[in-house]
Amino acid sequence: MSKIHIMSEALANKISAGEVVERCSSIVKELVENSIDAQASEIKVELIKGGLESIKVTDNGFGMDKEDALRAFCRHATSKILRDDDLFFIDTMGFRGEALPSIASVSEVELKTSDGTNSTYIHIKGGEVLENKSGDLRVGTTITVTNLFYNTPARLKYLKAENTETYNSVSLIEKLALAHPQIKFTLLNNNRIILKTSGSDNLLKTIHEIYGLNVSNKMLEFSSSNNDFDIYGYICQPEILRSNRNDLNTFVNDRVIRNSEINKAINDAYHTYKPDGKYPIVVLKINTDPTLVDVNIHPTKQDVKISKMQELYDLIYTTIKDTLYNNLLIPNALKEESVSIIKDSVIADIVTSMAEKEAKPHQTELNFQVQVKKNTPELKVSDELVVNKEMKNFVLYPVGLALGTYIIAQNEEGIYLIDQHAAQERVNYELYLNALKKKEITTTNLLIPITIELAASDFLALKENLSILTTMGFVLEEFGLNTFIIKAHPTWLLEGYEEESIRKIIDLVINIKDKFDPLKFNDHLAATLACKMSIKANTRISPEAQAELLNELVLCDNPYNCPHGRPTIIKFSIYDLERMFKRVMN
C-alpha cells in the first residue's frame, strides 16, 4: 500500500499559515500590503485587544469583482505574476498568493469589496465558505479577521499579551507609513487612535507624525546614487540614539525589508559618532532595478537578497558618513525652542559681525559647517545660524575647570563645557590614526630593549600575526621561551608611555579572531591607545594646558565627538541661561 499521498487543500493552507501568520501583526501586514497593491490612498486598521479578538482593515483601493473576490481565497491565486519571468520584475508588495487562504484557514474572515460596479460579501471560517452574496457599493475593500487560530490551538498559545501584539502592529504600520508617505494611515486599538498620518507625500512630515517634533527637528536629509542604486532619506543627529535596531527603517523599492549588511553599513557610517550598543533613527529608501533584488526567499517577503551588495554598502556608508560630517553641530544642553524665522540677510549679518570681531588673548578658533534650510517655516534658537557651506570663526575663551574634568569656556553665544578626557581622546585618536595611515614609517631604536613575556597560547597567536607589528614599524625577535624583545618602535608612540602602548598593541594582535582587516584594526588600535593615553577625569590641568588642548581639538577632522561617540563639547546658549534664570519668560 502506498505511503505517500497528496495532502488536502485545507491541511496545506494550515501548514502555509504557520509560515505566513506568526502573530496578529503578520495578518495586519498581509492585509495592508494588499491594500497598497490595490492603490489605496487611505488605509484604516482597527484592532480589538491588539488583534487578539479582531483585526479589521479598510481601504479605498480599486476593489474586486465577485469572481476575483472568491478566487482570492484559493491557494496561489494572484494577480501579480503570470509567468516565470515575472519573478524577476516584482514591483508589488504581494505575489505569492498564500496570504488570504492561509489566514482564512486558521480564522474566521469577512470580506466586503466593490470595484464600483459590483459588490461582494464573503464569509469564510476555517477555509470553508459560509456566505457569498452581494454587498454595498462603497469602492474599496474591508476585511475583518476574528477567532484567530481557533482550530490550531498549538499556534494560539504562542500569541503574546495585548500590549505586545499592539506594539508589533503599531511598529509595522509606522514602517509602512514611512515607506509610503503618500498614503493616509490610521490605526486604532479598542476604538482609540494610536497612530495617524496625513498621506501628504512628505517624508519629513511623516517622520514628524510618527516620532514627534524633537526627533524630526534633528533629522538630516541625504540623497545619492550610483549606476545601480538611488538612495534617499533622513538620518538623526547622534544626540538622538536608541538602544536597539528597531528604528533602522530600510526600504527597497518601497518594500519594508530586513538586511543585516545594510544595517552594518549604517552602523559603520556612525562609527565614532555614537557609542557601541546605541543605534540611530534612520529612514533609508533604496530604489533599484527589481532584477537586482530577490524577495522570494521567505514567505514574509521581508528578508531579501540584493545583488551588487558591496556597491550598495559603499554608497550607503559614504553618503551617511559625509552627511554627518557636513552637518554635525555642538549639541545644546537644553532642548531647542522654535521661534519665527530669521531672514537670510539677518543671518548673514550675524555671521559677518562675528567673523570680524577682534581676536582676544587665549582664544581658540573652532571651525565648523552648519546648514540653514531656506524656505522652512521655522528656525531653531541654537547654534544653527550659519549659511550653508560657509565657514565661521567660532571663538572660545577658557575660563576654568569644573570638577577636575570639564573645561569651562565662553564666547558671545554662551557657555561651553568641554570634557577634557573626551577632547584629548579625539586629539590622540586622530594623531594615531593618521600616523598608521602613512606609508613612510620612521622608527626609534631602543637603548634598552623591552622584554615581553607571554603565555604559550598568546606567544603562538602573536607569532602567527607577527607581520602586523613589523608592518607598523616594530623591530622584534624571539628571546627565549615564550618571550619577545622589542628593539625598535614607530615614532608615533607617546613619549613616556612606550611600553604600556606596546603591550596594548600586542594584546590587540593576540586577540584577532576573524580575518584580519587592517582598516578596522588600525581604527580599533587608535581608539584604544587614545583612551588609555588621555587625561583622566578628576585630573586638574593648568589654564595653559586647557588652552593648548582646545587648540589641538579644533585642528581635528571631527572635534565634536570622542572615538566612542560621546560628545566633546556641550553648549548653554545665552538664551538657555536667561531662560533658566527667568531673565526671559518665553
In tens, the pLDDT along 167-193 reads: 999 999 999 999 999 999 999 999 999
> Which residue did the predictor score with more confidence, 380 or 77?
77
Q: Is the pLDDT of residue 527 over 80?
A: yes
Minimum mean pLDDT range among 38-47, 53-62, 285-294, 360-369: 360-369
Residue 46 is predicted with a pLDDT of 97
Give the separation between CA 273 and CA 270, rounded to whole angstroms: 5
Closest to 330 (Cα-Cα) out of 568, 563, 574? 568
Q: Is the pLDDT of residue 341 over 70?
A: no
Place of cell 469564510: 124
Interacting residues of 22 by C-beta distance below 8 A, sequence separation 6+? none
Torsion, CA 169, CA 174, CA 180, CA 186, rounded to 10: 70
Place of cell 498614503: 183
Q: Which whole-number Å values give the CA distances from 567 to 268, 331, 363, 562, in the listed order?
A: 18, 8, 21, 6
Give the separation between CA 16 and CA 77, rounded to whole angstroms: 14
Residue 19 is predicted with a pLDDT of 53
Minimum mean pLDDT range among 1-10, 395-404, 454-463: 1-10
User: What band does 422 get if pLDDT is binned at 50, 70 and 90?
Assistant: very high
User: What band does 2 get if pLDDT is binned at 50, 70 and 90?
Assistant: low
Work out the widest C-alpha separation in the chain, in whole angstroms.
Answer: 101
Give the separation between CA 235 and CA 241, rounded to whole angstroms: 11
Q: What structural domains does the chain harbor?
A: 9-196 (3.30.565.10), 203-327 (3.30.230.10), 338-424+538-580 (3.30.1540.20), 443-490+495-532 (3.30.1370.100)
User: What band does 371 get if pLDDT is binned at 50, 70 and 90?
Assistant: very low
Q: Is the pLDDT of residue 292 over 90?
A: no
Residue 412 is predicted with a pLDDT of 84
Q: How many CA atoms lie within 13 A of 243 on its CB side?
A: 0
Residue 264 is predicted with a pLDDT of 92
Q: Is the pLDDT of residue 213 over 60?
A: yes
Kindly provide the residue ranges of all beta strands, DSSP E only, lying in 273-413, ordered along the sequence.
Answer: 279-280, 282-288, 293-294, 305-306, 338-340, 364-368, 378-380, 392-402, 406-411
Give the separation between CA 504 and CA 35, rounded to whole angstroms: 58
Q: How many CA atoms lie within 13 A of 245 on its CB side?
A: 12
Q: Is the pLDDT of residue 262 over 90?
A: yes
pLDDT digits (tens, 9 = 90+) for 296-331: 555 555 567 888 899 999 999 999 999 998 887 676
User: What band does 560 get if pLDDT is binned at 50, 70 and 90?
Assistant: confident
Give the separation between CA 56 and CA 96, rounded to whole angstroms: 22
Q: What is the mean pLDDT of residues 195-224?
A: 94
Q: Give all strands of the β-sheet with 42-48 in edge-to-edge order.
A: 128-133, 119-125, 108-114, 140-146, 54-59, 42-48, 184-189, 192-196
Q: Is the pLDDT of residue 369 over 70?
A: no
Residue 159 is predicted with a pLDDT of 81
Give the separation between CA 562 and CA 565, rounded to whole angstroms: 5
Q: What is the mean pLDDT of the chain?
A: 81
Residue 190 is predicted with a pLDDT of 96
Place of cell 565661521: 392
Interacting residues of 457 by C-beta distance below 8 A, sequence separation 6+? none
Percent of the chain whose pLDDT exceeds 90 = 37
Q: Is the pLDDT of residue 50 over 90?
A: yes
pLDDT digits (tens, 9 = 90+) for 105-145: 889 999 999 998 889 999 999 888 999 998 887 899 999 99
Closest to 549 (Cα-Cα) out of 437, 396, 434, 435? 396
| 27-31: Cβ within 8 A, 24+ apart | 27/51, 27/55, 27/103, 27/107, 27/145, 27/148, 28/55, 28/57, 28/169, 28/172, 28/173, 29/172, 29/176, 29/300, 30/94, 30/99, 30/100, 30/103, 31/55, 31/57, 31/99, 31/103, 31/143, 31/145
DSSP state of 93: S
Kindly provide the residue ranges of all beta strands, DSSP E only, lying in 319-457, ordered along the sequence.
Answer: 338-340, 364-368, 378-380, 392-402, 406-411, 414-419, 443-453
pLDDT digits (tens, 9 = 90+) for 468-496: 999 888 999 988 888 999 999 999 888 88
Q: Give all strands of the β-sheet with 443-453 in edge-to-edge order.
A: 443-453, 483-490, 475-478
Whether 250 contacts 259, CB under 8 Å = yes
Q: What angle do CA 37, 39, 42 make, to 5 degrees?
A: 115
Whether 443 contacts 487, CB under 8 Å = no
Give the separation between CA 229 and CA 215, rounded to whole angstroms: 27
Interacting residues of 329 by C-beta distance below 8 A, sequence separation 6+? 237, 368, 370, 382, 383, 384, 560
Alpha helix positions (H), 384-540: 420-437, 456-464, 466-472, 498-510, 518-532
Q: Which whole-number Å values give the CA distances from 453 to 190, 322, 336, 503, in the listed order?
A: 68, 44, 55, 10
Q: Is the pLDDT of residue 30 over 60?
A: yes
3 state DSSP class of 356: coil
Q: Is the pLDDT of residue 387 over 60?
A: no
Minimum mean pLDDT range among 232-246, 424-438, 506-520: 506-520
> Which residue did the predictor score with more confidence, 342 or 240?
240
Q: What angle do CA 549, 550, 556 make, to 5 degrees?
A: 95
Q: Which whole-number Å values give the CA distances from 525 to 226, 248, 333, 421, 558, in the listed order?
A: 33, 28, 31, 18, 18
